[in-house]
Amino acid sequence: MQEIVEIRNASAGYSNEVVLHNVSLSIQEKDYIGVIGPNGGGKTTLVKLILRLIPPMQGEVIYYGADQRNLIGYLPQVSKTDRSFPISVNEVVLSGLMSANSGLRRFTRSDKSRALEILEMMGIAHLRKKSIGELSGGQMQRAFLGRAIISEPRLLILDEPNTFVDNKFEHDLYELLSHLNERMAIMMVSHDVGTITTYVKTIACVNRNLHYHRSNIITQSQLAAYNCPIQLITHGEVPHTVLGKHHHNHD
């Protein structure tokens, strides 16, 4: 299996705090990794490390492959402030084609038809001329997902994609992700262990350290052994989490 990104013995954090201690992870083609862990455990810091938004304090983050421009697509956590962006849905999706090298060129006809294909795939083509602020949470999430995948990245990273999303769209979103997983690896941060165990293939438990669990089935005692205190409550077959309200206070 082809490797896409490797974190090797990395420590990472901020000037006042080391958040991740000596973590290692290899992300390969076809992977679908769920990232779980308690609030403040370092899930978003792990994502920033992989995106090279923060440098490792120790160890390294290695990108594999000849063309590293379209390596990673990223769906950040959607927050309400995104509503004030004065751009259209179509522009949001197209902006996913502005890599560091191509940011100054104009979009070509083929870029525009690609954007339309993606908008159709996301079921929001009819909304393409609307301003992003006019959309519902679920529709906005689709627009940002379209932006993340328009360049056909080898790895798609999603941070809490089910925030602000209704049940109907949540189901559609996971169907879409399973479909995308046929052609790109996926890493998804989620608080919802029910979702994780239903859709992902493997689980990374992050709480200052990282324990990689090579299955999508995880028990309470395994979580305890991984120092990953998340409660599982069984609803039928699928374990489901109950956690306090999620507060996101980092930038």
Contact residues for ligand ATP, defined by CB under 6 A:
14, 17, 19, 37, 39-45, 248, 250-251
- Output 135 or 228, the one with its CB closest to ligand ATP: 228
CB of 208 vs ligand ATP, minimal distance in Å: 9
The pair of three-digit structure tokens given for residue 86, joined into one six-digit string: 């004065």
- Output 91 or 192, the one with its CB closest to ligand ATP: 192
- Output 45 or 162, the one with its CB closest to ligand ATP: 45
CB of 21 vs ligand ATP, minimal distance in Å: 12
- Output 24 or 102, the one with its CB closest to ligand ATP: 24
Residue 164 pairs with which residues in a beta bridge? none
d(CA 193, CA 37): 10
CB of 2 vs ligand ATP, minimal distance in Å: 28
Nearest CA to 208 out of 11, 3, 47 is that of 11
CB of 42 vs ligand ATP, minimal distance in Å: 4
